[in-house]
Amino acid sequence: MKSQSSSGLSFVLVLLFSSSWAASAQNHEEFLQCLSLHSQNSNSFSQVIYTPNNSSYLPILQFSIQNLRFTSSNTPKPTVIVTPSHESQIPTVIKCSRTHGMQIRVRSGGHDYEGLSYVSELPFVILDMVIFKSITVDTETRTAWVQSGSTIGELYYRIAEKSKVLGFPAGVCPTVGVGGHFSGGGYGLMLRKYGLAADNIIDARLINVNGEILDRKSMGEDLFWAIRGGGGASFGVILEWKIKLLSVPLDVTVFTVDKTLEQNATNLVHKWQSVASKFPEDLFIRIIIRRVNSTRDGKETIQASFNSLFLGGQDRLLSLMQKSFPELGLAKEDCTKMSWIESVLYFAGFPRGESLEVLLDRTPLVRLYFKAKSDYVKEPISKNGLEGIWRMFYEDEAEAAEMILSPYGGKMDEISEYAIPFPHRAGNLYKIQHLVYWEEEGEVAAERHISWIRRLYSYMAPYVSKFPRAAYINYRDLDVGVNNQGNTSYAQASIWGIKYFKNNFNRLVRVKTMVDPGNFFRNEQSIPPISLWRKKKGD
């Protein structure tokens, strides 16, 4: 009897799988036919479409995957990848995706920490913006138009081509795509001087759910507000950004001073918490915490690297440090003078004298498995609290773990928490990025390391922001909450939404309701429209 029951169940499962596969295959074919039918030039369109039958499909899919967690055979793959060569092709992709029940995932650089720009549990299409990398710099107006498939490195390179005294306050990693980086906020080493990347966006062009191409004027100020820090993927397909270029001196000063526990690291990190946000806005000193081998006896210890960009000369920097943070013991020989664009290479980890051309290389230096989390600190962590962190860094899973502490103050304290959706402003001493990396394949290794960073995150709870425990959307973390699959409720989405956006979440929901009431542009952490959860409640 048991055997008959098992075989009957197997038959049903096979039948269900076959039906699901057949429906998916049919959707796939109908989607491709739709693209051909609605394209003005089907030949040119066929050159930017890749299906699993194409030999180029896997190389294109994997090229922009930055986190090896999402390269396994079990990771859901797109039915189709489209790499549009012209913006006129994108409305057709949106139209056909809507018609045939396909989700769209938009990818510019592939750095989404949870892979949401190229992974979905539902049938989906990747709209890969990799060809959209035109950058037009205008030094007279001190502005630039940057297409969303460009990387930060490409942007920095193009600015430096035209000017030695203009820069932009975006991130450190040169292979990050500007489409996602800017739309989530965009941290960089000049945030204390100029704020975030998103604070310096003055126009944008996007394609909405109806296939219309809109700029700031035609989209209106509400939508323009939402895409600058609220995550563009909830609202449409970002084509390009217009940014304000900002002054940098001909020469800047950088330093990295490493201190281990035996070299008073605990006291130095404790003191840094009280002074780093009060420095003049030209001075940015972050701390990178990791486990290393001690130079004295080869035993493992904890190292704090004080990593700094100063928008000025060495003498002024030394004077400032002697006055505000003499304990670090910064000396003349620790400091290096270089141009701002050379500092971009320095902080990206390239050796001195490396050609600027490396900024045009979209291939990451190394790909690893990793998991990340974020926190905001409002009161200095006690020395005992810091020592508890060090103990966790001695655990096996923390061999390649890091904590990056980035100071606030300066411009970040001056900008209103409501100016853009990104709300984490005055009142924060610094931001933490928690990271754990590993090289070992498989679910067991992944679970072990992810479990470690979750335990670290739990340990940190008493020392960081509360009600909500704030988080940064560009350090995406699905542990803080996810939408229900399909259409989600406001209550479900607010679990994570309040952590990323605080009180700005409600305004984002209102904008979403105006521009995408049917919730076509969605993912595990996309903004929901009000209309859907009202229908669920029977309103």
Q: Is the dihedral of CA 152, 154, 158, 161 positive or negative?
A: positive
Let me know if 113 is a catalytic residue. no
What is the DSSP code (8-state) at residue 402? E
Collect all residues with Cβ–Cβ distance below 8 Å to 526 and sequence separation of at least 6: 231, 233, 234, 483, 519
The Cβ-side half-sphere exposure at 327, using a 13 Å CA radius, reads: 18
Dump the DSSP string for 97-161.
HHHTT-EEEEESS---TT-TTT--SSSEEEEE-TT---EEEETTTTEEEEETT-BHHHHHHHHHH
Tokens at residue 436, please?
């754990």
Cα-based angle 351, 304, 320 (whole degrees, multiple of 5): 85
Cβ pair 452, 401 in contact under 8 A: yes
CB atoms inside a 10 Å sphere around CB 491: 11
How far separated are the first and last CA of the chain, in Å rounded?
49
Tokens at residue 163, please?
């000017």
Dump the DSSP string for 337-361.
EE-HHHHHHHHTTPPTT--GGGGG-
Beta bridge partners of 253: 310, 337
Tokens at residue 215, please?
């700029």
Cβ pair 50, 57 in contact under 8 A: yes
Which of 430, 475, 490, 500 is labelled catalytic? 475
Q: Hey, which residues are catalytic here? A: 475
